[in-house]
Structure 1
Amino acid sequence: MYDNVRLVVETFEYSGDVGALLAAVLPLPQHCPRHLLPHLAQAHWHRYRAQSGFDGLIDREIAASLTGQAGDPAVARVTSTEQYRELEEARADFHARQDPGSLVYFVNAYTALMDAVDDERMTAALIADHARLLLVLDELDGTDNYAEPVVNGLHWTIAHTPRDDPQRARRLVDRARAQGNAGRRRGQVLADYRAAAQLALRERPVWRDVVIELAQYESDLYANGAPPIHLAGAFVTCRDLAAALERDFGNTATLPALSQLENEVSSQIGPDVARFLRTCHRDPRVLQAQRDKVETLLRQEIRPGVLVERRDQAWLLAIGLPLDHEGRLDALLDLYHTHDDLWELGGDTTAIGLAYDAVTEALLTTSPDDAGRAKLQAAIANATSTIAIQTRSPDDAKDAVDAARALVELPARDQGQRALRLTTLASALVRQFELGANPAAGQEAVTVMEEAIELTPPGDENLPLRWSTLSLAAQKVAEDGDHSLFAKAVDAGAQAVAIIPTHDVRRIGMLYNYAAAVQSQANTTKVTDAEPYREAERAYRAALALLAPDHPDNARIESTIADLLYHRYRHCGDLGALDDSLELAEKAVRETPPDHHWWPLRAFALARSARELATFGGPRADELRELAITHFRAVSAHPAASAQHRMVCEQQQAAMLAEADPATALDAQERVIAAIPATVSRALPRSQRLRAVRQLDGLADQVVDAGARSGELDRALELVEQCRAVLFGDAWGIRRGWAKLREIRPELAEKLSQVEQELAEADSYSDMTFHIEVEYQGRTSTRDWDPRPDAVERIRRLAAKRDHLVAEARAVPGLENLLAAPDLELLRHRAIGHTAVVVSAAGTAFVVPGDYLEPIEAVPLRQMTEITARTQVRKLREALADVKDPACSFDRREEAQLDVHAVLEWLWDTTAGPVLERVTDARLWWCPIGVAAGLPLHAAGRHREAAGQTVFDRVVSSYTPSLTALADTVTTPRPRHTRHTALVVGVGERKGMPVLPSARAEAEAVAALLPGSTVLLDSAATADAIKEGLHEHPIAHFACHGRPISSAGHPDLGGLMLSDGMFVPSFVRDLRTTQAQLAFLSACDTAGPDPALLDEPLNLTSAFHLAGFRSVIGTLWHTADSTETAVAVYAALTAHGTRPADTAHAATALTETLRRMRDAYPAVPTRWAAHVHVGD
């Protein structure tokens, strides 16, 4: 039974009811009476235009065949595929069953078809259909798993949909709905709806469903608490729809909602506004008068109230114009500029988002060949770049650069216009560089601005601005490490000031940027001469003098001077500057509204100066202290504060409250720790993650101190687990998750492993550049290669993929807490029988008993402070350097050994002794944090006395990177069926390094105790051969030179030295095995902490532990070239070669060996105190 075709068409053309049109049952062409075939063709044509996807294209093909037109070959190619046949079967199955299983089958059929299609138009249509099904799947599952993929897919679809494509309006509506569903900003949703409505209003008859959906969306926004602007938007949309209906159907068409909305606008906003909006579209004179009003306000001098009045009048014009009015682009650009000024000068935190929304709407509703396209392209570049400040989004920063590049590629009428566009590009590149989204963007910005300046003739009014932009670009690159560019930054800033006319209002900005360059150079390079600070202050004050007393920029410059004076005090010791800093900072904060987006920075400057002044005591000390705490607290809670600023402020609060109110301090520290994951996101390149981790320096010690003072030991210890070994903990969690998944979901384990390896590879390219020289037939060619931008972008993509895989893994029983914050109670249950001691230089050790029923105990270390610990670490390092230095005299080297003894004795008296008075276990795991990580706790003791007051004589010691690592290691079953052989590597000779005569002898002796082992000596020890051996053997032994890993350089600059090359951390990281038991790294400096990152285990010993070795022996410093230690350990493990190696007793064997060596060489502690055991 079929519907009346003629009635279907007539009803739709009058009512615009798309639902009824699509629900109508139409006859097949061969079953339709001949006189109704034109109506059937019309019905299919309307259905094509009423749909956004491939189903609509099918309707178009039917309409074309009925009217004798040629079909689309691309559609025919799709419908002839096997995948399309399967799609139709899936569609029929879903329509019959209407359950989640059939829907998934339907979705997968679409995916398979899309994979088989290589035509962009067809793919765009299929994605539109696929997106709708994914949203239905989310709705059935009660999730939003597909919200973002749907939005991204529709972005692609619309980008590949021509502006004259009849389906474009429907696709814009699809994306509007998807963006609303994904929680995107309402302005982005509105831009899509308005662009769709603009197209719908041009249709004859009008597509009223599209226009009504926009009106309904705005009306719903207002009803749910959004500003009245949306009520006005709904009213104007209905006004335009009424006009279109009158156009199409005459006076017979009515829209009852219009009068109701007009009355509400009159009531909520004002009768004048309602009257203007109701009639302005019919009277060009009214519109011109409103435009003149906006232009007059834009020319007015900035003063209180002007910024808001500008915005309101620009909004009234933009909202009043019909969606397809020729003046709409200029009106939206004016609205953008008023919002941008309100953000930049007025501090309105919502204004920049609205500015961005205005240009986004303009971009969607403006033809690519519009004469104003270049202005719009510049605006979208500037708006997107500015909003990236607020969102901190690398995607926004990249979009800004892409928009600016598109602007530069547009034909320019002259060199001046090209220079102007290059300046826009440079500004976007600087922002991208600041956000860390592209490490090469800063230098490119400098190069781009140098070209812009070359294109600008002397005397051009824009030349000062270009010199100033060059100054800013060079300054940002210099701050990031290339200090040589500071000279260019300062010189360019000075040039801008020199050539800008004294009456030019832009001189204020030129002076400010010049001062900023001078200040940045002094701060970054820690200049102790006060003159650069004074020069910067003179320029800032000159800029301040040019401002009207009520100008909003007064507070910005005052706060900047306060910051300058604070740093002058810090670097030059000028206490008077600190007093002036506080005074100016207080004035700036008073002049800044609390909801201003720069208020947090200005309040932070105040809090910092007040805190510093409070340390000097005096009658105002308590007042200043309270002032600092109050403002640190306010900044940390401010919505406009960055995550980094919040963390710093919480840390400052905690430090100031630690003694007087340790419980509150612990609360503040917990808030700091809660923010850590965002700052070390895996989506960031390694250099940025390391920079973020450095900001946590000392936090774990502060947490221990606050926990001990407040008595909240369990809570403090749980927080310590979250705020140290952060990068290690992330990698450790993934590695342990892989090991479990390997048994349950091997395909998921493989995907996770692959992503980790690809992330590590991308990381390795994220902070290096290459200069390549090729010589061929006597000619040399060179080129530079900078892989960093691609690497950073790849890291972000891979991190998103990793997040998806982790979420999938968490659905596997037993992995629900993968990468989640550790639960202390669970950790203690899992580590039964293993007593751990967390040692802090803050003066406390937490003893975590192996019996989880026993409480954690805080052992006071009364003589241990951060200062004394640092002193002892420095003393130890100096002694070790002298022992190693062949140029040192024998007497000095002997004295250095005594210094090492002194450190070990101090460590016993202050730390190990008090701990072992409370611990009766014969086995102990040390977990030193902060400065304490640089001290050899396992070797502490009064070894020169025969009283047994040493750790060697009391317990078997091991170290653990974290309590989580310990719990995971001891609960992982040892493999039952494994070989007891080893990969043994001995490299005694390497160019540029001292020969190690004992390396070969050690390797051969170890191999003799472990029959069946693979021995690689000297040149045979290649990286590939070692990798293969590590997969074959559960034990690995290396006798060679070692080079410590440093966070200051590329991680693969450290490692084990081979005859020709290195065995670097990345090789170890890629190892995937569950059979590895013991690694013995008989090389120098394989277990020592990085002095710059004491709480992050970056050494080679940790790398082997992370790779799956249950037990690792390494060294804290340079050791003697001797076989004695290694051979003795293996002799103990194998009963002198009479049994397979019992690797479970590696720690015991090492302790016994070191004890015997101590007894044999009591005067040489560097020989027996260096080796450590990590793991179980």
Structure 2
Amino acid sequence: MGAVQSLLDARRTLHRHNLLHMFGVALNDRYSKTNDPVFLSRAVSILRRVERWTPEGHPDMASHLSYLGNTLRARFDVSGDMEDLNEAIQVLGRAVSLALDGDDGLPYYLGWLGDSLQVHYGRSGDLGKLTEAIVVHRRVVALVPESHPEMASWLSSLGSSLGRRFWRTGDPEHIAEAISVLQRAVELTPDGHPAMAFRLNNVGICLRFRFLRTLDPQDIIEAISVLHQATELTPEGHPDMPFRLNDLGICLQARSPDDGTGDLRDVTEATSALQRAVELTPEGHPQLPKRLSNLGVSFQSLFYYTGDFQALAESISTLQSAVELTPDGDTDMPSRLGFLATSFRLRFQKTGDLQEIFDAISVQQRAMELIPETHTHMAAHLIDLARSFDARFQRTGDNQDLKAAISNARSSATSTSGSPIIRLNAAITWFEILDRFTPPPLEILTALDTAIDLISLTAALDQTLDYRYARLQRTSGLLPHAASTAIRLGRIDKALEWLEQGRCLVWGQLTKLRTPLDDLRHHDIQLADSIVEVSRQLENAGSANPILRSEMSLSERSSLADQSREHLRCAQKWDDLLAKVRATPGFEGFLKPLSWYTLLQHLPDGGYIIILNAGTLRCDAIVLAPVHDQPLHVPLTNFSLAKCDQYRRDLGAQLQGYNYRDRGEAGTVLEDNDEERGFKGVNRGKGGQTIIQGILRGLWTDLVKPILQELGLQAIQATSTVVPPRIWWCPTGPLSFLPLHAAGIYTSQGSECVLDYSVSSYTPTIAALVDRVRSTRSIGKEIAGLFMICQPAAPGGSNIPGTTREVQSIYKLATEEGLRAEIFEGGAITPASCLDLMEKFSSVHLACHASQDAANPLKSQFLFHSGSLDLLTILQRNLKDADLAFLSACETGTGAEKIPDEAVHLAAGMLAAGYRRVVATMWSIGDRHAPAVAVDFYQYLLDHQPQDPVNGSTFDGSCSAHALHHAIQQLRLRLNDNSDQSLLAWIPYVHFGY
């Protein structure tokens, strides 16, 4: 009877336990429907009793513990009591440890534990808790198949943890993985699922996180779109509505007019959404301080846009309330204090009240005391404090404030954590403060060194080419100023290295990816092969142009996120491989920017490289030549940036509507009718000279002739047999748009110009030319030859009958000389087949339409009958055996105004693809003259072919610069005057490369 009674008692106890457990779960469910915290407290009390009464080793113990832990976590969400959260983590950890292998509940226990650890990090800032959360979430995702009904939920939790980790550490791999994982979660969530809004919201938050680091406008546009969806899916009155409104609001206010994505309407909508979020949040709610802080920042943005002083007052008041309500130890306290300090500084700048800037500094210093030194946002706090100290210094003149401003700006710029964009802004601020000294201290060189290094990090290989070019627009004016500063301090070497490192940054990245690895291959073939493979992957990823569209499916969006993550991984692998190579003896400088003395060791013989820089304070030339063991500095005291800009504007105005090749109709010679051509060259400037003549005279007297005189160059008579020296022009900034090769005095009596002294070429960078000199190679017979493309009437352009005459004349000339040559006309050539032919022929002649896309330079293109060949597509090719490209088309050497130092034009694209030399045009060319110029060019080239000791006589473009010089001189003789019509017929032709 005793045993039976014991069994009955045990069954009754178990039954009572199960009933109590079910009652506790029911109370928890009741809370989720009513939001009444009383039900939560009763549920916790009952579930604690269940835990105490469940014997050790009982099979339901893990389940009972998990429900208790989950309920404690829910009560913390309401009360903010850390004791509840700590107990929840402890209880859920026990549940996980007690669960048996194969227990169906284990994934749930792990999921709840991971969520609780993540929440703990949000309150405590304990990075260890967040790391634990990620480990636990990864374990859940790995434990169950993707078809599991809760997989989307667990992916969402993992993505959220990774996003938080990124926000703390700034590791781009974490945010890339977070977005990829979160988009998978959304993809797995069926339409109409109640969690869809929450999961979309998480995607939007992480897209915003990435935007704040990279400023890629595509991220913020997509984030706002996703958050709008999440808000629309959340019914009015739903407890999550204030969460949705808050996240949408902060995303809207993140948009900026600087990147072309934001305007006042965004800030107004953001403020409205954030005000509603605050209104819907009850007093005492743990989220109220965060929502007040975000609203305060939105009022701050409103002040930026409108100058409304009342908005600034609202910002300060709201931020002060947020700070007062934030509990001690909250990880968000430093950011809230930082926002408040910024508003105080803005009010000081508005009112001049010194107390405001004292308050700003005091509040920001308090924030600095609370934030961990390694936190990714430390750099942002440091630069904000620097700006406040600088603002107070400018008012009081206190040198201690000046020292503090410099110190904090320096610390921000040189921080090992933080966004490269924030650190770049800090470096620029550091430089600007030092630049106010006369003369500036030598520390300014360190500031500029740091800034120029950071420019390359903000437009790094982990981004697409489009984005890199967009980023570089923001810093396009820094480089000339930096070089001028170095020259001012007597550091010509530093100016040269900066101009080389900072110009054509993307062009240089492409060149590095294609660097021959013969030496490395002899040392470590596997390492060389790894570099080749990763460089190929990076080229493909960088040349991709993934554009998010509103009609994209979830799977397409998820695929794009995966591509972005893989791109990032490749870039990180590339950095790791470079570090490994540079750790190898003899390869310490592998793919590093070349020092000035290294550049001097591989200059071309018989010529000069002239780097021109126009800064706001001064203009200078730096000349490199094999006969000099130091860079030669030539101050251009009579030239200025203002003159340069004026010449560029005047030239642009004169060229407006001047388009021989595009405006011509079949059988029409437009050169004889200025009015029909829309030509403006008859406008007169000072002294009766035309504006065009005035520009060329100014370039000659103030810029070019002083350099030639310094070099001791003498004019060479046209009848002389002396070979004129080469000059490679390497202009910076707006100088890139001026015809330096044509500078001179042109009158009805005669002329004096650059052509009398030298043969001109252009080079994007010195390294590009040095690379061509070092890699001189003979052209094999199997590819030596010329293919010509003739497109007299391609869609998108008018009829240009001269192209047919041009290629037929060249073909006749070439075949008479025994040269391998072919012509492709009309639909016989496509962009794809053109690229294939570039691998089979050493040289190409393109007689067709071309256009420069000012808004998107990578879309600059050649127009064929069967489609267009754009710059981006050309850049994807690596033509190792390419020699000469003659681009007999309009605008093939025209750069992009917003990024003048990036050489974003079709000629540079051909160089980047592998051609050693390119003939191009700065603007439109004459259809009547183009055939004759081309024939004279090729006749000279064929008459001066070098004899290859291995292959005998082959077609070689090494004399192409002299050939173009000769062809232009012949055209000038035929024109026989120096009118603007004649000048603009020959000036557009330019030579690039070796």
State the match for 2:648 in structure 1. Answer: 873
Contact 1:497–1:510 (Cα < 8 Å) also in 2: yes
Change in CA separation of 1:612 and 1:1037 when aligned onto 2, cut-off 3 Å = farther
Give the counterpart letter for 2:793 in structure 1. E
Q: How does 1:179-194 map to 2 (within 5 A)?
A: none
1:1015 to 797, 806, 823: 823
Q: Which has the higher contact order (CA 8 A, sep 6+)?
A: 2
Change in CA separation of 1:811 and 1:427 when aligned onto 2, cut-off 3 Å = closer
State the match for 2:852 in structure 1. Answer: 1044
Contact 1:1042–1:1084 (Cα < 8 Å) also in 2: yes
Matching of residue 685 in structure 1 with residue 464 in structure 2: yes
State the match for 2:984 in structure 1. Answer: 1166
Matching of residue 992 in structure 1 with residue 790 in structure 2: no
2:881 to 1067, 1075, 1086: 1075
State the match for 1:395 in structure 2. Answer: 173
Change in CA separation of 1:838 and 1:506 when aligned onto 2, cut-off 3 Å = same
Change in CA separation of 1:549 and 1:419 when aligned onto 2, cut-off 3 Å = closer
Contact 1:336–1:354 (Cα < 8 Å) also in 2: no
2:499 to 706, 709, 720: 720
Give the Cα separation in 2 of the matches to 1:455 and 1:992: 45
State the match for 2:411 in structure 1. Answer: 634
Change in CA separation of 1:769 and 1:859 when aligned onto 2, cut-off 3 Å = same
State the match for 2:318 in structure 1. Answer: 542
Give the counterpart letter for 1:912 in structure 2. V
Secondary structure at the counterpart of residue 942 of structure 1: strand
2:250 to 462, 472, 475: 472
State the match for 1:981 in structure 2. Answer: 785
Secondary structure at the counterpart of residue 1143 of structure 1: coil
Give the Cα separation in 2 of the matches to 1:1162 and 1:325: 94
State the match for 1:824 in structure 2. Answer: 596
Matching of residue 856 in structure 1 with residue 674 in structure 2: no
Give the Cα separation in 2 of the matches to 1:993 and 1:745: 52
Deviations 1:145-183 (A, max 9, x none): xxxxxxxxxxxxxxxxxxxxxxxxxxxxxxxxxxxxxxx
Change in CA separation of 1:622 and 1:454 when aligned onto 2, cut-off 3 Å = same
Contact 2:299–2:314 (Cα < 8 Å) also in 1: no
State the match for 1:496 in structure 2. Answer: 277
2:481 to 680, 694, 702: 702
Give the Cα separation in 2 of the matches to 1:945 and 1:1161: 7
Secondary structure at the counterpart of residue 745 of structure 2: coil
Give the Cα separation in 2 of the matches to 1:411 and 1:1126: 63
Give the counterpart letter for 2:959 in structure 1. H
- The alpha-carbon deviation at position 1130 of structure 1 amounts to 2.1
Give the counterpart letter for 1:509 in structure 2. K
Matching of residue 588 in structure 1 with residue 363 in structure 2: yes
Change in CA separation of 1:955 and 1:410 when aligned onto 2, cut-off 3 Å = closer
Secondary structure at the counterpart of residue 276 of structure 2: helix
Give the Cα separation in 2 of the matches to 1:339 and 1:635: 25
State the match for 1:1120 in structure 2. Answer: 926
Deviations 1:816-865 (A, max 9, x none): 75422213322211115342111100234343432365321221122333
Matching of residue 1143 in structure 1 with residue 946 in structure 2: no
Change in CA separation of 1:956 and 1:1013 when aligned onto 2, cut-off 3 Å = same
Q: How does 1:276-675 map to 2 (within 5 A)?
A: 324=97, 336-343=118-125, 351=126, 353-360=127-134, 362-363=136-137, 380-401=158-179, 419-420=197-198, 423-432=201-210, 434=212, 445-446=223-224, 449-450=227-228, 452-454=230-232, 456-476=234-254, 481-483=260-262, 486=266, 489-501=270-282, 506-514=287-295, 516=297, 527=305, 529-531=306-308, 534-535=310-311, 538-539=314-315, 541-545=317-321, 547-548=323-324, 556-557=335-336, 559-560=338-339, 563=342, 576=351, 582=357, 585-594=360-369, 596=371, 597=375, 598-608=377-387, 620=397, 626=403, 628-658=405-435, 659-661=438-440, 663-675=442-454
Matching of residue 939 in structure 1 with residue 742 in structure 2: yes
Secondary structure at the counterpart of residue 764 of structure 2: coil
Secondary structure at the counterpart of residue 356 of structure 1: helix
Deviations 1:371-417 (A, max 9, x none): 999998776543321111233334312443466568779999x9766
Gaps of 5+ in 1: 1-243, 248-287, 302-306, 344-350, 774-780
- The alpha-carbon deviation at position 1166 of structure 1 amounts to 2.4
Give the Cα separation in 1 of the matches to 2:888 and 2:766: 26
Contact 1:765–1:791 (Cα < 8 Å) also in 2: no
Secondary structure at the counterpart of residue 459 of structure 1: coil
Deviations 1:757-810 (A, max 9, x none): 55444444434356999xxxxxxx999889643442342354456567768988
Give the Cα separation in 1 of the matches to 2:647 and 2:824: 40
State the match for 1:1153 in structure 2. Answer: 967
2:755 to 949, 952, 961: 952
Q: How many residues align?
A: 856
Contact 1:983–1:1015 (Cα < 8 Å) also in 2: yes
TM-score (norm 1): 0.63
Secondary structure at the counterpart of residue 952 of structure 1: helix
Give the counterpart letter for 1:898 in structure 2. T
Matching of residue 1096 in structure 1 with residue 868 in structure 2: no
State the match for 1:211 in structure 2. Answer: none
State the match for 2:608 in structure 1. Answer: 835
State the match for 2:719 in structure 1. Answer: none
Give the Cα separation in 2 of the matches to 1:410 and 1:783: 9
Give the counterpart letter for 2:133 in structure 1. V
Deviations 1:552-582 (A, max 9, x none): 777745643665688899xxxx864898985
Give the counterpart letter for 2:799 in structure 1. V
Give the Cα separation in 2 of the matches to 1:600 and 1:1014: 60
State the match for 2:916 in structure 1. Answer: 1110
State the match for 2:65 in structure 1. Answer: none
- The alpha-carbon deviation at position 448 of structure 1 amounts to 5.2
Give the counterpart letter for 2:743 in structure 1. A
State the match for 2:106 in structure 1. Answer: none
- The alpha-carbon deviation at position 357 of structure 1 amounts to 2.2
Give the Cα separation in 2 of the matches to 1:375 and 1:633: 44
Matching of residue 916 in structure 1 with residue 708 in structure 2: yes
Contact 2:514–2:535 (Cα < 8 Å) also in 1: no
Q: How does 1:692-771 map to 2 (within 5 A)?
A: 692-737=471-516, 758-769=537-548
Contact 2:871–2:906 (Cα < 8 Å) also in 1: yes
Change in CA separation of 1:425 and 1:993 when aligned onto 2, cut-off 3 Å = closer
1:965 to 739, 746, 768: 768
Contact 1:314–1:338 (Cα < 8 Å) also in 2: no
State the match for 2:668 in structure 1. Answer: none
Contact 2:501–2:593 (Cα < 8 Å) also in 1: yes
1:1027 to 835, 838, 841: 835
Give the Cα separation in 2 of the matches to 1:294 and 1:458: 22
Contact 1:832–1:851 (Cα < 8 Å) also in 2: yes
Give the counterpart letter for 1:560 in structure 2. F
Give the Cα separation in 2 of the matches to 1:782 and 1:362: 26
Give the Cα separation in 2 of the matches to 1:610 and 1:867: 33
- The alpha-carbon deviation at position 989 of structure 1 amounts to 0.8
Deviations 1:173-229 (A, max 9, x none): xxxxxxxxxxxxxxxxxxxxxxxxxxxxxxxxxxxxxxxxxxxxxxxxxxxxxxxxx
- The alpha-carbon deviation at position 969 of structure 1 amounts to 0.9
Give the Cα separation in 1 of the matches to 2:905 and 2:343: 39
Give the Cα separation in 2 of the matches to 1:826 and 1:624: 42
